[in-house]
Structure 1
């Protein structure tokens, strides 16, 4: 199982990495299991080839922050890892550490990419907001925690920067070094090809934008993507549309997809049901159709629209999706299954009494 984020860093920058991880855990409420960092003891199991282990986690990460220091650019291993990240994971999050500035990435695959600095208290606040926007954090960061841990981080920041100036040359075995060099050469040979593909896609999208409205552009861009990427995009759209809805409403939507009536245990959810009914978010009909939602509310109507799109997409592409789906998830590709809704859409399903 891979982690949400993989921190790419120089081994000798461990004090900085530890302080950054403390901020992520205590300030942004990220679980330790969601953070992959080779400087932390126990990250790579005994007997496992560490290069293969790192590759696997980079491929599966939602985000790969790069802590770019002077030590990072002096490390051949780090530069090889940067090239690998650029090729196999589109969610790169470059962070430049003083005294470096944007010129440090001029001769790297990151040239032209938007970067984040850690120079001030506000920079860490910005990281919290961006991690939430990128989907790494399920909930909006608690401002008091972010503020407290940001202050704690900067209290010792200058000392940490002084400490990591003392660079000890990191070493790896000859076999691992040869593997890294070989992988790096292969990845660098592909960079030119990928750049051409990116330029071609940008040109294609630009032409469409000049002739179509934004909604059509989004549809065309998604249709041009591989089937699996389209599926993941539809899943994210549904997940985003229902996450702010009460579990009673989520469950009513789920049972509507199944073509079944929804009868939640009234004694358990009495107050919740009364509250939603008083706001006319739901309709109660315990003598007939059970609990149904009020589609006049924009958030509910938007959720229904996204759900219908995902359901049709799965029905039309089931055979193409099934093999990849089975290798990524522990539940079957059955849209009307509660397991599917809970694992992929993060829905909170209340079991109906009938």
Structure 2
């Protein structure tokens, strides 16, 4: 999933393009796959559910950026995204364009939340510095950021100069109705989140981590549950040295012992960090099942294995789709879904 979710009005496509291409990508070095923006070609899957795609990426993103314009405030989808981000307690940045002031957020869930007015180039540069200070982007060239900030600011000013017709009474009434519907949806969604959080808290008191993890991974259908497991495991396994991941693979899912010819310093480092145990007499490397990071990975791998065994129809569908054996004892499965190269 993408790191940045950019919420915007489709009518502000020129500003959105300059924000994504010139500011995030060229000035700050954000990769295209790290940005979810419905205006970008190829962002939404053909034939997929538009609303589900948006909600899933909104939930999984690290940061939500709202490009708030007059068009944004008229869009029921934009207001729904605004409310959903608030309900999900996302790290959010409302950016005010079109010479809008902070009062426009008073009737939204983000009333009182710190926001930034993009009413001059300095504020755009300040926003870039904030993203860097929070380690959301890598270090960048100040000269390049200044240049791209000027291009973005020019696009914002051009967007403001477009003449707009004042909405009719009927249009305003419709917008108010749509806003109320969006807020009711958000309240219902927030209620469901609250109920789930309460259920999870109660479950945690039982200290049954397997049941807790199964509940956290459960989606609305088997495919979504599978994707939840893959997403969680990919994030956790990526934090481990490939040798450690390989030791887990061999110890859990292979009939063979694990050994690899490595430089002694690497093995010593992993051993000293309590990730692995090395038996030099038997030429065998075992993972440390008591390490917290490994313990979490092993628990979810076992749960995923049980889930696949109990979901034959899903496995058949995945094998047809990927032309690959869907099993955790298949090293190609680890490469395709976890981006892990098993060392053999």
TM range (shorter): 0.5 to 0.7
Distance verdict in 2 for CA 1:303–1:204, change over 3 Å:
closer
Q: Shift of the alpha carbon at 1:128?
A: 5.3
- The 3 A distance-change label for structure 1 pair 202 and 262 is same
Which residue number corresponds to residue 305 of structure 1?
295
Q: Give the TM-score normalised by structure 2.
A: 0.64
Contact 1:7–1:67 (CA<8 Å) still a contact in 2? yes
2:5 and 2:82 map into 1 onto residues whose CA distance is: 13
Give me the whole-angstrom Cα distance separating, in 1, the residues matched to 2:82 and 2:313.
Answer: 28
CA distance in 2, matches of 1:198, 1:44: 26
Q: Which runs of 5+ in 2 are unaligned?
A: 166-173
Can you give the 5+ residue segments of structure 1 that lack an aligned partner in the other structure?
133-140, 171-180
Structure 2 CA distance for partners of 1:247 and 1:103, relative to 1, 3 Å: same
* Higher mean C-alpha displacement, 303-312 vs 287-296: 287-296
Matched residues in 2 for 1:143 and 1:226: separation?
35
Q: Distance in 2 between matches of 1:60 and 1:196?
A: 17
What is the aligned counterpart of 1:340 among 303, 326, 333? 333
Asked if structure 2 preserves the Cα contact closer than 8 Å seen for 1:255 and 1:261, the reply is yes
1:241 corresponding residue in structure 2? 236
Contact 2:210 2:303 in 1 (8 A): no
Name the counterpart of 2:249: 254
What's the CA shift for 1:257?
A: 1.9
> For residues 328 and 203 of structure 2, what CA distance do their matches in structure 1 show?
32
Q: CA deviation at 1:232?
A: 5.6
**1:220-299 equivalence runs, <5 A:** 227-228=218-219, 235-259=230-254, 260-264=256-260, 266=261, 270=262, 273-279=263-269, 281=271, 282=276, 288-293=282-287
> Do 1:241 and 1:303's aligned partners in 2 also have CA atoms closer than 8 Å?
yes
Is the 8 Å Cα contact of residues 105 and 111 (structure 1) preserved in structure 2? yes
Cα displacement (A) at 1:24: 2.3
Q: 1:261 to 1:225 in 2, by over 3 A?
A: closer
Q: CA deviation at 1:310?
A: 0.8
Show CA shifts across 1:21-61 (max 9, x none): 33322355443355455656x5599xx89xx8865752553
Deviation at 1:305, TM superposition (A): 0.6
Kindly state the Cα deviation for residue 235 of structure 1 after the two structures are TM-superposed.
4.5
TM-score (norm 1): 0.63
**Which residue of structure 2 aligns with residue 163 of structure 1?**
158
Cα deviation code 1:152-211 (max 9, x no counterpart):
3434454333222112559xxxxxxxxxx99x95x96475255145246537757986x9
The corresponding residue for 1:82 is: 78
- Residue 131 of structure 1 and its aligned partner are, at CA, apart by 8.3
Whole-Å separation in 2 of the counterparts to 1:321 and 1:96: 47
